């Protein structure tokens, strides 16, 4: 996981939902915690004050060189975009090993850091993590707005969707999970 100082310093709450969603084995799950200062500054578009997500994914791929059975999720406390989009909540390499989520736009808007705020923030992080790793297992965006694989265009889309796969996404995920390359 890649993150700097912020509201959350412990992301262990993400692990149980990921273990359940993808049937990862707890003893083979590896957490990488690197300081944000190690990410090259040239990956940030200074005019937009946003990181270029696709370039970050390539840097992560080259830097960490994950094995065929590894899925690496970078949790980043900055804003990012890719392609023609103004921002992204996350991005992944489809059927690849690398994904990232960006906390800046997942933060609830109200200023009180209370239990409700933290629960909403954690819920959004879990949903985006499952969504992006779903792409790593070959899943595409789903047209069902309550499916975890629905493309969130707004934060309310993320809030509205479930943290589970719909029946149309479960079958291809099961096939991918059985594949020896995953």
List, by residue number, the catalytic residues: 132
| Token duo for residue 18 | 């990921």
CB crowding 105-124: b at 16 or more within 10 Å, else e: bbbbeeeeeeeebeebbbbb
As a whole number of angstroms, the distance between CA 148 and CA 158 comes to: 8
Taking alpha carbons only, the member of 101, 103, 23 closest to residue 69 is 23
Measured at the CA of 60, the angle between CA 162 and CA 54, to 5 degrees, comes to: 65
As a whole number of angstroms, the distance between CA 16 and CA 106 comes to: 20
- C-beta separation of 132 from 91 below 8 A: yes
């Amino acid at each position: 996981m890649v993150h700097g100082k912020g509201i959350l310093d412990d992301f262990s709450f993400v692990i149980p939902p990921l273990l359940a969603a993808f049937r990862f084995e707890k003893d083979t799950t590896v957490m990488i915690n690197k300081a944000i200062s190690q990410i090259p500054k040239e990956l940030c578009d200074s005019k937009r004050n946003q990181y270029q997500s696709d370039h970050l994914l390539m840097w992560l791929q080259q830097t960490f060189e994950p094995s065929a059975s590894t899925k690496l999720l970078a949790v980043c406390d900055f804003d990012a975009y890719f392609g023609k989009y103004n921002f992204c909540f996350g991005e992944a390499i489809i059927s690849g090993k690398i994904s990232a989520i960006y906390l800046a736009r997942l933060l609830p808007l109200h200023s009180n850091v209370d239990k409700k705020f933290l629960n909403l923030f954690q819920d959004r992080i879990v949903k985006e993590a499952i969504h992006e790793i779903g792409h790593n297992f070959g899943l595409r965006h789903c047209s069902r707005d309550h499916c975890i694989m629905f493309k969130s265009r707004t934060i309310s889309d993320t809030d509205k969707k479930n943290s589970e796969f719909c029946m149309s996404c479960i079958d291809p995920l099961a096939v991918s999970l059985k594949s020896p390359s995953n």
